[in-house]
């Protein structure tokens, strides 16, 4: 935009402008997908940005199995204390803190380094959780330590959403039109669901390996394995560059009132949709406990319980994977609407036929219907609410708001709105002077090499 790089009249300014136009401008195409980079060079930032959500899925879900093991190991000390509620739930409080904190950091400072920070938090506190220990071997102290570590782990988990998802969304903008949504979904929501499945499958394997006679070792191994996914991403994320769209549109001073006035309604609508989806998903989770009681006897071994938990979590994957392509074919809004509508129909069928389905004779039909219900939820809101949140906010505030096909349009609308209300948009993005300094540094590095 003309206001972003003002042309100076002096000779030095004219020279700088010529250098900028000749060398820097051609490296930044008008359309993000019009780039000379290979497909891998455009794709791996999406993978590095979003794949961390696999860690989130695992670390969030593994505590359910650990909670089951702790109940068995400490039937009085654990179940009669506040820890029985705090240990499995405290990470959610940390997640809220992490989402707010890293949303601000990723917008104000850096997408890349907010990702690095959240990754390091995950690694450190996943390891500390596995090694939780009370002073002098105190069992209540063990529960207190685990609760504290899980809270800070939640901060890292929360940081992945504004940092990882937003970085993946902006990097996906450089991919071919018509393929962006599937890449974003495959490395955000599908990764979370894969983490859920592994968090159910790993406890089954660990209990089979260590047996129920060594559960004190088993629960620590379950938590300790959560270090591996973020650790494997650390090097890849160190090599990340800031998304081109972030460099173009970032803001250094935020007109909070203008932003709130522009986005409050759509932020409310997206948040309400997300809340409604989460609320209904957890509410319908009661159906899985019903047919599990039918399938599993009271004397069933622990590994079998974890095995059926794997089946429940696996239902998410078919819908998430198929829905990734549907979101590209018909668009995220239609995919969300159709998914919710069909899921509602199946939900009414389950509710209406509950007495018929909740019997040992018909448990197979119950499981199939429940699986279809869960998959439709992923095709609809599971895949698309986060995608729509990314699409309906400008780059400069996307981390805090939390597009793929409409990123450029949304950024242009947001700039125009700010200009109409007296905000100097020339301060957005990297200035020409900074661009020239970056160019000189890169040329010196190339000469030295």
CATH number of 33-443: 1.20.1250.20
Is residue 395 over pLDDT 70?
A: no
Q: How many residues does the chain have?
A: 449
Q: Give residue-wise pLDDT tens across range 239-288.
A: 777 666 666 666 666 677 777 777 778 778 877 877 777 777 766 666 67
Q: What pLDDT, on the 0 to 100 scale, is given for residue 403? A: 32
Task: Give the closest residue to 395 by CA, choosing from 410, 376, 413.
Answer: 410
Percent over 90 (pLDDT), the chain: 24
pLDDT, residue 18, reads: 43
Kindly report, residue by residue over 99-134, the tens digit of the pLDDT: 888 877 877 777 778 888 888 999 999 999 999 998
Does position 37 have pLDDT exceeding 90, yes or no?
A: no
Decide if pLDDT at 88 tops 60.
yes
Asked if pLDDT for residue 327 goes beyond 50, the answer is yes
Given a cut of 80, whether residue 152 has pLDDT beyond it is yes
362: its two tokens: 């018909």
Lowest mean pLDDT of 43-47, 74-78, 169-173, name the range: 169-173
pLDDT digits 0-9 by tens, 328-338 = 899 888 999 99
Q: pLDDT grade, residue 22 (50/70/90)?
A: very low
Contact between 315 and 196 (Cβ < 8 Å): no
Q: How high is the pLDDT of residue 400?
A: 56
Query: 414-438, pLDDT tens digit by residue?
Result: 566 566 666 665 655 544 445 445 5
Average pLDDT over residues 216-233: 92
Domain locations in the chain as residue ranges: 33-443
**Confidence category of residue 15, pLDDT binned at 50, 70, 90:** very low
Query: pLDDT of 163-175, one tens digit each?
Result: 777 666 666 666 6
- Checking if the pLDDT of 408 tops 60, the result is no
Query: In this predicted structure, which of 191-200, 207-216, 251-260 has the lowest mean pLDDT?
Result: 251-260
Mean pLDDT, the chain, integer: 76
Confidence check: pLDDT of 406 > 80: no
Contact by Cβ (8 Å): 223, 88? no
**Residue that has been written with the tokens 């794709």 in this structure:** 43
d(CA 402, CA 317): 23
């Amino acid at each position: 935009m003309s206001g972003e790089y003002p042309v100076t009249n002096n000779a030095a300014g004219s020279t700088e402008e010529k250098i900028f136009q000749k060398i820097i401008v051609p490296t930044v195409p008008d359309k993000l997908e019009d780039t000379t980079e290979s497909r891998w060079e455009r794709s791996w930032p999406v993978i590095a940005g979003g794949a961390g959500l696999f860690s989130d899925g695992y670390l969030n879900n593994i505590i359910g199995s650990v909670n089951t093991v702790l109940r068995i190991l400490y039937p009085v000390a654990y179940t009669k204390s506040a820890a029985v509620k705090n240990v499995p739930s405290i990470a959610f409080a940390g997640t809220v803190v992490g989402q707010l904190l890293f949303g601000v950091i990723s917008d104000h400072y850096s997408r890349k380094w907010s990702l690095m920070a959240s990754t390091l938090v995950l690694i450190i506190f996943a390891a500390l959780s596995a090694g939780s220990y009370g002073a002098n071997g105190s069992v209540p102290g063990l529960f207190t330590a685990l609760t504290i570590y899980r809270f800070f782990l939640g901060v890292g988990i929360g940081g992945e959403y504004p940092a990882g998802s937003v970085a993946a969304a902006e990097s996906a903008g450089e991919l071919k039109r018509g393929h962006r949504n599937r890449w974003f979904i495959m490395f955000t929501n599908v990764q979370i669901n894969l983490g859920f499945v592994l968090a159910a499958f790993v406890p089954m394997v660990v209990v089979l390996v260590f047996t129920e006679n060594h559960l004190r070792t088993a629960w620590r191994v379950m938590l300790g394995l959560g270090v591996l996914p973020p650790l494997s991403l650390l090097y890849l994320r160190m090599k990340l560059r800031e998304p081109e769209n972030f460099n173009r549109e970032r803001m250094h001073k935020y007109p909070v009132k203008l932003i709130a006035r522009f986005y409050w309604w759509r932020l409310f609508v997206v948040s309400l949709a997300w809340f409604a989806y989460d609320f209904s998903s957890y509410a319908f989770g009661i159906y899985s406990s019903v047919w599990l009681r039918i399938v599993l006897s009271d004397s069933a071994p622990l590994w079998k319980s974890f095995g059926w938990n794997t089946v429940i979590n696996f239902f998410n994957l078919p819908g998430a994977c198929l829905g990734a392509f549907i979101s590209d074919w018909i668009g995220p809004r239609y995919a969300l609407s159709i998914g919710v509508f069909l899921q509602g129909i199946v939900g009414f069928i389950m509710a209406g036929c509950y007495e018929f389905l909740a019997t040992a004779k018909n448990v197979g039909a119950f499981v199939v219907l429940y699986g279809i219900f869960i998959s439709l939820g992923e095709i609809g809101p599971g895949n698309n609410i986060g995608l729509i949140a990314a699409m309906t906010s400008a780059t400069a505030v996307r981390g805090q708001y939390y597009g793929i096909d409409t990123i450029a349009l949304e950024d242009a609308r947001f700039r125009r709105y700010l200009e109409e209300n007296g905000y100097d948009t020339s301060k957005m993005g990297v200035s020409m002077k900074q661009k020239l300094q970056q160019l000189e540094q890169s040329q010196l590095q190339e000469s030295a090499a």
